[in-house]
Amino acid sequence: MTGGRFPPLPSAQEQTSLVEQIRRGETSAEERLAGLFHERVRILALARTRNREAAIELAQDVVMAVLIALRNGHIRESAKLTEFVYGTARNHLNNYFRVRSRAPQEDELLPDHGVVEPSDPIAELERITLVRQALTMLNADDRKILLLTLVDGLKPGEIARRLGLSGEVVRARKSRLLKKVIEHVQTLSRTWGQEPPGC
């Protein structure tokens, strides 16, 4: 950073004067502070983040935070305004990286990525109807085994205790029933929606 690129930093006495002017609400003093530090903070933020847009936003946020603090008298040593600005910048940068570390990683969606279509409520209703029809062909005990498995999420041992059966019997019946229901649903789905003869 050369002196030709940035305006020279004020002396301790000038910093104290600038702080007092901002505290009194002098717009010209606020503009001077922005002119002194905005570009310096932007370059600092760009070096840390390597993101031009983020650096600009951070510089604006830092200058605004400093101005608000000065307006409200929240600076202990007016002669150390420069240190106060850079301390504020460090806090904002640390917060920037802290937020980014918690943010979920986003993968770019490439053209060859699969896209999940939203659920079709009509198709979902049809599937539910088919399953209900398939369940009606089962006896009460078989329906209980499937409902306790699929709806309540119970394991065969727990179902066996509830129904007074052995675990092996429940596992065997569950496997057979699932296969039977699936086959029945597939048969129904092939004929679902077909118009009756003569329509």
Read off the pLDDT of residues 12-31 as tens digits, 9 standing for 90 and up: 999 999 999 999 999 999 99
- 113: DSSP letter: S
Q: How confident is the model at residue 80 (pLDDT cuts 50, 70, 90)?
A: very high
Q: Is residue 54 in a domain?
A: yes
Q: Which of 17, 25, 10, 6 is nearest to 67 (CA)?
A: 25
What is the token pair recorded at 58? 């951070």
Distance CA 169, CA 71 (A): 79
Cβ-proximal residues to 178 (8 Å cutoff; 6+ apart), any chain: 146
pLDDT higher than 80, residue 85: yes
* Range(s) of the domain holding residue 71: 12-102
Regarding whether 19 and 89 lie in a shared domain, the answer is: yes
Regarding whether 97 and 157 lie in a shared domain, the answer is: no
pLDDT higher than 50, residue 120: no
Regarding whether 134 and 97 lie in a shared domain, the answer is: no
- The HSE-up count of residue 92 (CA atoms within 13 Å, CB side) is 25
Q: Is residue 46 in a domain?
A: yes
Q: Which of 101, 106, 61 is nearest to 85 (CA)?
A: 61
- CATH, residue 148: 1.10.10.10
Predicted confidence at residue 108, as pLDDT, reads 45
Regarding whether 94 and 26 lie in a shared domain, the answer is: yes
**In the chain, how many domains are there?**
2
Q: Is residue 196 in a domain?
A: no
For the chain, give the mean pLDDT: 79
Regarding whether 140 and 84 lie in a shared domain, the answer is: no
Q: Is residue 143 in a domain?
A: yes
Regarding whether 69 and 30 lie in a shared domain, the answer is: yes
- 2: DSSP letter: -
Q: Is residue 7 in a domain?
A: no
Q: Is residue 170 in a domain?
A: yes
Final residue of a domain: which of 102, 132, 148?
Answer: 102
**Burial of 10 (C-beta count, 10 Å sphere; 0-12/13-18/19+):** middle
Regarding whether 135 and 83 lie in a shared domain, the answer is: no
Q: How confident is the model at residue 39 (pLDDT cuts 50, 70, 90)?
A: very high
> Phi/psi of residue 10, each to 5°?
-70, 155
Q: Is residue 36 in a domain?
A: yes
Give the end-to-end CA distance of the chain in Å, rounded to a whole number: 85
Regarding whether 45 and 75 lie in a shared domain, the answer is: yes
Q: Is residue 3 in a domain?
A: no
Read off the pLDDT of residues 149-188 as tens digits, 9 standing for 90 and up: 776 778 888 888 888 888 888 888 888 888 877 776 666 6
Residue whose entry in the numeric block shows the structure tokens 């370059």: 43
pLDDT higher than 80, residue 194: no
Cα distances (Å, whole numbers) of residue 101 to 45, 56, 98, 107: 17, 20, 5, 15
Regarding whether 131 and 97 lie in a shared domain, the answer is: no
Give the pTM.
Answer: 0.50
Count the neighbouring beta carbons within 10 Å of the beta carbon of residue 109.
9
